[in-house]
A and B are shown apart, each in its own frame.
Chain A
Amino acid sequence: GDSVTQMEGPVTLSEEAFLTINCTYTATGYPSLFWYVQYPGEGLQLLLKATKADDKGSNKGFEATYRKETTSFHLEKGSVQVSDSAVYFCALSDRLGKNRDDKIIFGKGTRLHILP
């Protein structure tokens, strides 16, 4: 079945460092790809998404590019802040697949700590 694999955490960086969180996926169809973020004590929030190959999703300085040839959707940010400390989930939804549903399949999450 469809699945998402992301780098394990925790990831600890100093403020203003460059961030990369790797994510690869397996899907039988042509999925939409997402990054969700979960801040401490809060619910899941959509950070960014991309729906087709070579699309770049971006939000709050974070970016990820849909790479069909490598089945990847790595999350990057040029200069992280303490407020970026959270758990990040890579996810996919195969809305155009056989079942035409948009249930989301999540990776296990990567906890990010940013030190001041």
Chain B
Amino acid sequence: DTGVSQDPRHKITKRGQNVTFRCDPISEHNRLYWYRQTLGQGPEFLTYFQNEAQLEKSRLLSDRFSAERPKGSFSTLEIQRTEQGDSAMYLCASSLIQLAGEDVTQYFGPGTRLLVL
């Protein structure tokens, strides 16, 4: 088990460009979360999946953001028409949950640091 991996680790883009990030969760983990962490702040929840179903989206997730988990394994987060305010660390986490309300631990990946110029 290699843990949660994210790719790329760093991304520099120009304002207006589209970017896509990938997250590979721990094998067989059925829940996958995306968080965003801006400088000097704690991570903020963006969205989460149970298997391939996207169950909740934060109000932080504007229409320019879209996340998918097509086969219930890896996930992608796309940002269209990037803005300078999108500059942040994007974190992915995964967990294995079998019962609603079960006490589980989320395991975080190293993050993708995005800089929009």
A residues with a Cβ closer than 8 A to B are 4, 32, 42-46, 49, 51, 89, 91, 95-96, 99-109
Contact = CB atoms under 8 A, between A and B. Distances in A.
Given A43-B111, A109-B41, A95 B103 contact: yes
Overall SS of chain A's interface = loop
B74 interface: no
Given A43-B110, A95-B102, A100-B100, A105 B45 contact: yes
B56 interface: yes
B31 to A, nearest CB: 7
Contacts of A42: 110
Chain B interface size band reads: 20 to 34
Interface of B: 31, 33, 35, 40-45, 48, 55-56, 91, 93, 95, 97, 100-111
A4 to B, nearest CB: 8
A58 to B, nearest CB: 15
A28 to B, nearest CB: 15
B56 A99 contact: yes
A104 B91 CA distance: 12
